[in-house]
Amino acid sequence: MTLNVDAAIGNTWAALGLVWLAGLAFTKRTVRSQPVGARLFHLVLVLLGFALLGSRWFDGGWLSLRVVPVTEAVQIAGVGLTIAGCAFAIWARLTLGGNWSGRATVKADHELITRGPYAVARHPIYTGILLGALGTSLATCEWRCVLGMLLLALAFLVKMSQEERLMMQTFPVAYAAYRKRVKALVPGVL
């Protein structure tokens, strides 16, 4: 049986999207959030990044050219990384619970989550999504996916700086200690 790479990747990202949609019903009321301009910039980057990563709007041009030749083994590895990354992001989203928001915010009765995936990365949702984007890029080996992954990374860096600022204001002692213990995205590295 041959692996249907597009279906496996599409279904994986769809599962992540469904968890996000379902979770919207359980978020707490927002008390403070990032400035509107930073939110819009982040949103444009994320939408463009995901459009490049997962759509066929860019077929036919240089963006659909292969970065390197693709083999079945590389595609299988890419699908595996996509699944692992999305699963990690879902775990992080479920762990964050009602504190989650699509923008950098402080919620009513906000709590500092440091368990589960947050014990290994301060921003594990971004870690998971970037790992999934890396897997998708590897499975397709197309320039559009590489560019999409880079735009997502830039979007997350913008949002992370806002989130870090809000968390330091809200939990000055606890978050400072947490930052010393746990890296932002990649355990032990970054």
How does pLDDT run across 99-135, given as a tens digit for each residue? 998 889 999 999 999 999 999 999 999 999 999 999 9
pLDDT at 57: 79
Q: What range defines the domain where residue 169 resides?
A: 5-181
Task: Quote the pTM value.
Answer: 0.93
Residue 153 lies in a domain: yes
pLDDT of 78 strictly over 80: yes
Residue 190 lies in a domain: no
Residue 189 lies in a domain: no
Residue 186 lies in a domain: no
pLDDT of 22 strictly over 60: yes
Q: Where are the alpha helices (DSSP H) in the chain?
A: 5-23, 36-54, 72-96, 124-140, 143-170, 172-181
Task: Name which residue leads in pLDDT, 161 or 60.
Answer: 161
Number of domains in the chain: 1
Among residues 99, 83, 117, which one has the least CA distance to residue 14? 83
CA–CA separation, 104 and 100 (whole Å): 9
Residue 187 lies in a domain: no
Residue 15 lies in a domain: yes
CATH classification at residue 129: 1.20.120.1630
pLDDT of 1 strictly over 70: no
Mean pLDDT calculated for residue range 66-70: 84
pLDDT of 24 strictly over 50: yes
